[in-house]
Amino acid sequence: MAIEPLQMSKGMTESIEKEIPLVTVKGLSKQFGSGCEYCSTPSHEEKEGNRCKHCGSIWAVRDIDFELYPGEILGVVGESGSGKSTMIRSLFLDEEVTNGSMTVSTYNKGKINIFNASAQQKRYIRNHVMGMVYQNPYLGLRMTFSSSGNIAEKLIAADNFHVGKIRERASELLDKVEIPISRMDEPPKNFSGGMQQRVQISKALANNPPLLLLDEVTTGLDLSVQAKVLDLIRSLQRELNVAMIVVSHDLGVIRMLADRTMVLRQGLVVEKGLTDQILEDPQHPYTQLLVHSLL
């Protein structure tokens, strides 16, 4: 038996040649505190640290640039306080950014800086363009509302008012994340941590956003539950081709999910590259420390 040569589909060739990033972020910076004349722009010096000596303001995220392509998973690693969460919360418009721009190719053809959008546009973007899964399910879910109601909230925000259709979509989503349909009307507070996380994922996916942001989604879950959540994320990425930004301090999670990885330290991107290269041939001393701490 011979192995037959593969034929490449035509659509694929084209998409490779003129690949357009889904998300383009330029110069994203976020300062906490009032700021003063000494810290009006973030320093790019790693040694200087991110806290202003004069007024105590902190540049939590300093001038981050990156691109994310459709269907791709980008990993973000770094220790506590490196600015991972601030970065992803800024991307989801939870935090007002200090500087920077973000465009999404599916929103107004990528011509609008989402950070400067009006409150109304931002609401639309958060419902249609991206979904967010927080480490703490209390941030992403209304714990005392039913699980189906949580999803309905998203669907209604996207102008779906047909109750039958809403329930149909809710049960479809919950089924996808393996929450028994018989429990769809129970509030998430009745559920275990892993189940809450899965309800949160289904809620984030309610309107089929092209971009999903995941902030430490498996942190604090026990191993077998963690495995289930990770398997779910992987299968969603494969079936729905959603692009994702996965923030985690767990290199195992990043290794398993991400094609490319950025390493953050004190708000700066100290290294980025292919995930296996970051793990096997880290260039920056901090990444080296991080990788060797794992082994």
Partner 1 sequence: MALANELSVTPFHDITFHVPEGTFMGIAGPSGIGKSSILKCIYRTYITTSGNIWYKSLRYGEIDLSTATERQMIHLRKNEIGYVTQFLKVIPRVSALDVVAEPLLPFGYSLEDARSAARKLLERLLIPEELWNGFPATFSGGERQRINLAKAFIVRPRLLILDEPTASLDNDTKQSVLAILKEMKEQGTTMIGVFHDWDMMEQVADNIYDLRSIKREDHNNVLEVRGQK
Residues near partner 1, by CB under 8 A: 1-9, 12-13, 16-17, 19, 69, 72, 227, 231, 234, 238, 256, 259-260, 272-274, 276-277, 280-283, 288
Neighbours of 280 (CB within 10 A): 9
The whole-angstrom separation of Cα 106 and Cα 75 is: 22
Nearest to partner 1 of 13, 118 (CB atom): 13
Nearest to partner 1 of 156, 256 (CB atom): 256
Nearest to partner 1 of 215, 271 (CB atom): 271
Nearest distance in Å: CB 280, partner 1 = 5
Nearest distance in Å: CB 287, partner 1 = 9
How do 73-77 and 99-104 pair as beta strands? unpaired
Nearest to partner 1 of 151, 262 (CB atom): 262
Q: Residue 122 burial by CB count (10 A; 0-12/13-18/19+): exposed, middle or buried?
A: middle
Nearest distance in Å: CB 26, partner 1 = 17
The dihedral through the CA atoms of 172, 176, 181, 185 has a sign that is negative
How do 243-247 and 73-77 pair as beta strands? parallel
Nearest to partner 1 of 144, 224 (CB atom): 224
Nearest distance in Å: CB 197, partner 1 = 17
Neighbours of 168 (CB within 10 A): 11
Nearest distance in Å: CB 232, partner 1 = 12
**Partners of 102 in beta bridges:** 25
